[in-house]
Structure 1
Amino acid sequence: MTATLDLIVIGAGMAGITAAKKCSKAGWSVAIVDELPYGGTCALRGCDPKKMLRAGAEAIEAARRLSGKGITGEPRINWPELMKHKESFTDPVPESMEAGLKEAGVRPLHGRARFTAEDRIEIEGQGEIAFRHALIATGAKPRLLEFPGAEKLIDSTDFLNLAELPQRITFVGGGYISFEFAHIAARAGAQVTILDRRTRQLKMFDPDLVDMLLDRSRAAGIEIIDEAAIERVEDADGAHRVVYRTADKSHTVEADLVVHGAGRVPSIDHLELGAAGIETEQGGVKVTPWLQSPSSPRIFAAGDAAASPGKPLTPVAVFEGKIAVSNMLTEKRTEPDYTGVPSVVFTIPELARVGMLEEEARARGDVEVRFTDTSGWFSQKRLGESHAGVKVITAKDGKILGAHMFGPDYAELINIFSLAIKLGLTAAQVKTMPAAYPTGASDIGSLF
């Protein structure tokens, strides 16, 4: 390719694909490159395949909760068949994504890319490409672990492709990945342990509801050990022995599989950003509030690769990609609006959050905080669920500042609070919503 492209997008995840199509539609010459199959983490190695596997765990849990309440027998997961169910979604994605890009006029390229100058990249084995603008949307990768034996761990991608599920699984780290996968594995019959070096797990979520999740996790058979510093992972009779320390005492846990769930970092170190004068901070590409590199203005970044205020979530990556290319196209300085972005830990049941934590809200002034234990409500009673709760935070003027939920189907219900926060609605206005009955949404009026 000898002509100078208007835009080269590095990373064919949802942020990059959305941005590439938008610019091509505007008449720009656009190419996109990725060394991995098109679709990105969410569609192929994260959100979507995880929820496909979770469907099996949900079915098992639903049957167990209603055991003795009209449901009999002991259901079980056939892991290889569940994996085929997952693959029925993931396998067609790369070809479908690439076809959609071609139809939109975007040239798809494959291979590892690196910058060779401020206006050029090189694709391994394919030569250089000149560009007017570039969008870095390379996502994130597992954080490097530095204890002996760390190479024995598998990452989240490997877990989502396991042909068989081992009997004993230990997760290192107490974040989204560990808890979500642990809840799937436990319902599939595995003996599960989570080792976390921190005192508090899932610190971005309401601590009262996290405590409720921890209780529910333990009830599901998951062992959770906090303040556990991994010392090493070693071979042990065809399996693994994880050696960890709590306070001043050393412990071990035997596992057939050890999974890295200890965080992710921007995947940018292979790009040779220095050749283009691109600065980094907090591990990501340094950007202005409008997602432009201050040191290399023709370069923009979006999603997990950017050191922006946005959370590492797919919807954030998508709208950051749209904002970045809009700023390229119009030469304006539009900033992303992160108001009302919800976040969910897809355990069983799920933990959801939107807006401020209680601690953040109280630091800003006088607020009203209402916590409701909803475990005895009809919505949970009909499912046999024992743990559920909601915390809603409102300002003095009644506007909703934050909502925190733990319980069945609350991942859907949190979206109503997301819209309320986005639009600046008050609790009184939300309570006027006539909801279908009986549904989870019909509970909202009683939560304020």
Structure 2
Amino acid sequence: MEKDYDIIIIGTGTAGRTLADKVAHSGLKIAIIDSGEYGGISPPRGCDTKKMFTDLAGVTDSNNRLIEKGVGTNYPLKIDWPSLIEFKGKVTKECPGRIENHFVEMGIDTYHGKAYFENQNTIVAGEDKIKGEYIFLATGSKPRKLNISGEEYVTTSEEFMKTEKLPERIIFIGGGHISLEFAHVARRAMSEVTILHRSERLLRHSDVDMVNLLIKATEAAGIKILMNKPVASIEKDANGFLVRTGSKSGTESETQSFRADMVIHGAGRVPNIEELHLEKAGIKIEKGAIVVDKYMRTSNPRIYAGGDCTSESLKLNSVAALQGEVAAANILNENSLEVDYTGVPSAVHAIPVLASVGTSASKNSDKYKVIYQDRSNWYTTRKAGMEFAASKVIIDEANNRIVGAYILGPNAEEAINIFAAVIRLGLKASDIKKLVFTYPTTCSDIRYML
């Protein structure tokens, strides 16, 4: 069967869904394709589901921090893992069907199967061939290949959230946000947790000072973090897994071995584009990602892309939604809207949360005014029973505008949105002083962070 469409969308994650919603009532004929369950990574298998796990870890940790400070239990709690998995299953079970029905109700034709280009405007989807005037690629990402012996024994983050019984000893490969977040979750389920990171720095895109403080909080929770430990191989035996690392110091090399019952992939993700046959559509790729311009247009002017499969910006749910909106506007109205990444916030949902927006700078920067506050003794931190909390605000003194902000501590993921709005709207640092917040909250602390 061969059909013609005005718009074909490949991928049903955040970017694909957003574009579909924006163009659905345009009167155009639209098709959408997914090789797996509808919904992509998030919400059914990504950010939304992960937040269920990190939120529960936070509740468990909060109880334990407040023992003998008024909380109702006098013994430490731990995550009831089997009930968490059961609850997660109930919440996410109907998600793919609900998302697909949403497309159908909007009059969008849905297809299942692996999609790839036959030529510049023809897509093969399973047993179907469909042609599109415009095509939007939103195929997301997948775990990076580790290229080590025993890689088949590694558990992905998605598989981790399906594990019915959490083992006693867990090793995370890599020091990115996935490892840190799930390490804190596993620790609150009373697993013994180790992070093996290949280089000297965790969360390399974040602020060094704030990350170092988060590392202290993570180690205080009983999580081992070992730097310069690139994983070389994984072996399976009767006692679980033997993970070998190799490290180099000058001309000397050192090999170490670690025991675990589960090894989890936290070493990053890459665009999921290998099977699309993009060369047949004349689409340019750089460093394994689809190259797009400020309109989210690929090197083929009739094909747009958004989300984790592109080379643009941070790999965040909010960014994927923004890119889907921009691509939709430009398909409907010939490149009328440029994407703007100013003031996009992000958060590492560890315990405590590290939230950030904008640029980074050291405390002794000679380019910016940097205001660092140790917030460990502030009321909002003490009432939560937390030991580690801080903030860093970076100001361009030439125009008195905030160009970066970092918050570590209770409710940081919410409070950072204030700074994100200020940066995106181009407001001055002095404008924050005019704001009135509910008190006492982390947002009411913002005035004192400046």
Residue 24 of structure 1: how far off its partner (Å): 2.1
Which residues of 2 match residues 115-154 of structure 1 at below 5 A?
A: 115-124=117-126, 126-154=127-155
Give the Cα–Cα distance (whole angstroms) in 1 for the partners of residues 276 and 48 of structure 2: 27
Give the Cα–Cα distance (whole angstroms) in 1 for the partners of residues 53 and 338 of structure 2: 36
Partner residue, 1:349: 352
Does 404-413 or 16-25 show the bigger shift?
A: 16-25
Asked if structure 2 preserves the Cα contact closer than 8 Å seen for 1:115 and 1:275, the reply is yes
Amino acid across the alignment from 1:306: T
Question: 1:349-397: CA deviations, max 9, x gaps?
Answer: 11111011116995xx742100000011000111110000000011112
Question: 1:19-61: CA deviations, max 9, x gaps?
Answer: 1222221111001000111112120121111111122211210
1:75 is paired with a residue of what secondary structure?
coil
Partner residue, 1:106: 108
Give the Cα–Cα distance (whole angstroms) in 2 for the partners of residues 406 and 13 of structure 1: 29
Give the Cα–Cα distance (whole angstroms) in 2 for the partners of residues 41 and 431 of structure 1: 40
Partner residue, 2:271: 266
Partner residue, 2:302: 298
Residue 441 of structure 1: how far off its partner (Å): 1.0
1:413 aligns with 2:418: no
Asked if structure 1 preserves the Cα contact closer than 8 Å seen for 2:2 and 2:128, the reply is no
Q: 1:149 to 1:3 in 2, by over 3 A?
A: closer
Q: 1:361 to 1:271 in 2, by over 3 A?
A: farther
1:286 aligns with 2:291: yes
Amino acid across the alignment from 1:56: L
1:97 is paired with a residue of what secondary structure?
helix
1:96 aligns with 2:98: yes
1:42 is paired with a residue of what secondary structure?
coil
Residue 329 of structure 1: how far off its partner (Å): 1.1
Q: Which runs of 5+ in 2 are unaligned?
A: none
Residue 333 of structure 1: how far off its partner (Å): 4.4
Amino acid across the alignment from 1:193: T
1:32 is paired with a residue of what secondary structure?
strand
Asked if structure 1 preserves the Cα contact closer than 8 Å seen for 2:304 and 2:327, the reply is yes
Amino acid across the alignment from 1:197: R
Give the Cα–Cα distance (whole angstroms) in 1 for the partners of residues 93 and 79 of structure 2: 21
Partner residue, 2:27: 27
Residue 250 of structure 1: how far off its partner (Å): 1.2
Give the Cα–Cα distance (whole angstroms) in 1 for the partners of residues 259 and 373 of structure 2: 40
Give the Cα–Cα distance (whole angstroms) in 2 for the partners of residues 175 and 19 of structure 1: 29
Which residues of 2 match residues 263-412 of structure 1 at below 5 A?
A: 263-294=268-299, 296-308=300-312, 310-358=313-361, 366-396=367-397, 397-412=399-414
Asked if structure 2 preserves the Cα contact closer than 8 Å seen for 1:9 and 1:137, the reply is yes
Residue 95 of structure 1: how far off its partner (Å): 1.3
Partner residue, 1:430: 432
Give the Cα–Cα distance (whole angstroms) in 2 for the partners of residues 217 and 398 of structure 1: 35
Residue 236 of structure 1: how far off its partner (Å): 2.8
Partner residue, 1:64: 64
Amino acid across the alignment from 1:370: I
Give the Cα–Cα distance (whole angstroms) in 1 for the partners of residues 375 and 80 of structure 2: 33
Partner residue, 1:195: 196
Give the Cα–Cα distance (whole angstroms) in 1 for the partners of residues 292 and 364 of structure 2: 27
Asked if structure 1 preserves the Cα contact closer than 8 Å seen for 2:363 and 2:371, the reply is no
1:43 is paired with a residue of what secondary structure?
coil
Give the Cα–Cα distance (whole angstroms) in 2 for the partners of residues 361 and 74 of structure 1: 41
Question: 1:239-261: CA deviations, max 9, x gaps?
Answer: 10001123322111100000010
Partner residue, 1:157: 158
Residue 234 of structure 1: how far off its partner (Å): 0.5
Residue 220 of structure 1: how far off its partner (Å): 0.6
Partner residue, 1:446: 448
Q: 1:209 to 1:147 in 2, by over 3 A?
A: same
Asked if structure 1 preserves the Cα contact closer than 8 Å seen for 2:381 and 2:410, the reply is yes
Does 253-262 or 329-338 show the bigger shift?
A: 329-338
Give the Cα–Cα distance (whole angstroms) in 1 for the partners of residues 387 and 307 of structure 2: 37
Does 81-90 or 209-218 show the bigger shift?
A: 81-90
Partner residue, 1:76: 78
Give the Cα–Cα distance (whole angstroms) in 1 for the partners of residues 221 and 129 of structure 2: 54
Give the Cα–Cα distance (whole angstroms) in 1 for the partners of residues 21 and 57 of structure 2: 36
Asked if structure 2 preserves the Cα contact closer than 8 Å seen for 1:21 and 1:106, the reply is no
Amino acid across the alignment from 1:329: L
Give the Cα–Cα distance (whole angstroms) in 2 for the partners of residues 442 and 321 of structure 1: 34
User: How high is the TM-score relative to the length of structure 2?
Assistant: 0.96
1:60 is paired with a residue of what secondary structure?
helix
User: How high is the TM-score relative to the length of structure 1?
Assistant: 0.96
RMSD: 1.5
Give the Cα–Cα distance (whole angstroms) in 2 for the partners of residues 3 and 170 of structure 1: 49
Does 232-241 or 27-36 show the bigger shift?
A: 232-241
1:162 is paired with a residue of what secondary structure?
coil
Question: 1:308-349: CA deviations, max 9, x gaps?
Answer: 2x2100111111011112111111242100000001100011
Amino acid across the alignment from 2:227: D
1:254 aligns with 2:277: no
Percent of aligned pairs sharing the same letter: 39
1:57 is paired with a residue of what secondary structure?
helix
Give the Cα–Cα distance (whole angstroms) in 1 for the partners of residues 329 and 22 of structure 2: 8
Partner residue, 1:54: 54
Partner residue, 1:40: 40
Moved beyond 3 Å, runs of 4+ = 359-362
Partner residue, 2:12: 12
Amino acid across the alignment from 2:171: T
1:358 is paired with a residue of what secondary structure?
coil
Asked if structure 2 preserves the Cα contact closer than 8 Å seen for 1:57 and 1:187, the reply is yes
Asked if structure 2 preserves the Cα contact closer than 8 Å seen for 1:173 and 1:194, the reply is yes
1:385 is paired with a residue of what secondary structure?
coil
Partner residue, 1:242: 243
